[in-house]
Structure 1
Amino acid sequence: MSVELYANGLSAGYTDGFHIRELDLSIPSGKITSLIGANGSGKSTILKALTRLIPKDQGNVCLDGKSIYQIPTKEIARRLAILPQNAQCPDALTVEELVENGRYPHRRRFSGLTAEDLEVVHWAMKACGVLDFAHREVDSLSGGQRQRVWIAMALAQKTDMLLLDEPTTFLDIAHQLDIMQLLVQLNRDQGVTIVMVIHDLNHAAMFSDYVVAVRNGIKEFEGTPRQVITPEVLRIVFDVESVPFSHPVFHTQLCLPYDLCRHPSKDTL
């Protein structure tokens, strides 16, 4: 069953920090959506606002037609899984123990893991390629392996939507590709709707179905990668000059930045 998530006129943010303003955004169900924009543009704020992790000032976020602010937290966790930046794992926790935490929204109070829970945990570890590490401590793994474990925990929630904040940060190029290919596989094989904040425009172009470009807390552009990742959009959103070219394998349009704009917009952060 697919999940419909959308925001109407949403303004939200932090008391003494950054805000997004009057956001209208509908997440395409069953697709991979990337949020792109400069540092401090509001990408992560949008992700947190969509999942009620930060309070709203005005507007609304709806999940399957119902305001997310009227849905109990545990029910939201059964339908949306979010993986924040720099997730922290308690010391000495094994891979299996961490992934088991993904079953919390489905457990009754004071109850242990059921046979169904254990089956889902096993499935999530296998789907993310970490089953062989099940009894190793998470801290003993490489960065790419740990990121797969965190995704397995989110997958164990058995939600139809997975939201990730910069899932490839601090990973080398091989591990970045590994994580991106895993997300595509989860989307294609499991039907999971994926929303991710991402800095690498090449990855956004190659692996996304839909792209949202954010600037100064405002959604400036949205559409397919070919519609959004263009020299004109990069000039407005990132204040860089670039040239388009076609990927020789994926045949998607990429843009190669080569210079800063000589006359950047005055209100650019």
Structure 2
Amino acid sequence: MTEVLRYAAFTTDQGGGNPAGVVLDAHGLSDAEMLAIAQDVGYSETAFLVAGGSKDGEVAADVRYFSPVAEVAFCGHATVATAVARAERHGPGALRLSTPAGPVSVDTRLEDGHLVGTLTSPPAHTRPVDPEVLDEALNALRWSRDDLDPAYPAHVGFAGNDHLLVAVRDRATLAALDYDYAALQALMAQERWTTAHLFWAEDVTTFHARDPFPPGGVIEDPATGAAAAAFGGYLRDLALVPLPSRVTIHQGHDMGRPSELLVDLVEDAETVAVSGRAAPIEQSGSGA
């Protein structure tokens, strides 16, 4: 019987963060079995790890991610949850992951009595959104161009998969989000976006975000590590933050699952580092 763990990522409280399923030993599982487990777990993603050999304290592993609807190329919160879950059982250290989106490294360490996972994303890049596509997105979000913050141009950011990046002028606009699920779902399928990363800048390095996730069958994600990495690449490439910087993203507050994602940006780097903690969710399922 497959052991399925449940963790909340980017929080120290099981009632916060983004829940993820974690299978630390996925040897022999078929695609259909992994999808069925993800559906049974019911979270936005479940990670399936197949650990390989180790060298110089580093463990190599293959990992795949499934939402209840389909496989996802890369998932940041499930990666952090997996790394913390494994570190609790085998001790902190380095994981070198092979994902469908490319190689991803994640390191775990103890800080103030809590395990912290830091993932290094695939290479990040960004591009402007086509104006007509942006208008479609705003229509689905029930926003107008007057709601947008001109300091942060709308882009599509990539760090393993594509994310729409849209900034609003006012925190209240973000808090009142009530979008057209079917319309946004259709547009995101057309554009192959994984989430819409909607944000408000509290200051130059502090942001509040909400992430609709219709491609995964989820109205909203309370913490999105992959989007945080893409967003970090966007901030760096457009020179919207001084370098080096640590960017703090507050996500999930408006849906009652507060999360904190820390994004470290340096010059002359293609990748982005995203850090967070993870808490086990009580009464984890032990079978599927």
Task: Compute the TM-score of the two structures, normalised by the length of structure 2.
Answer: 0.28
More helix by share: 1
Task: Compute the TM-score of the two structures, normalised by the length of structure 1.
Answer: 0.29
More strand by share: 2
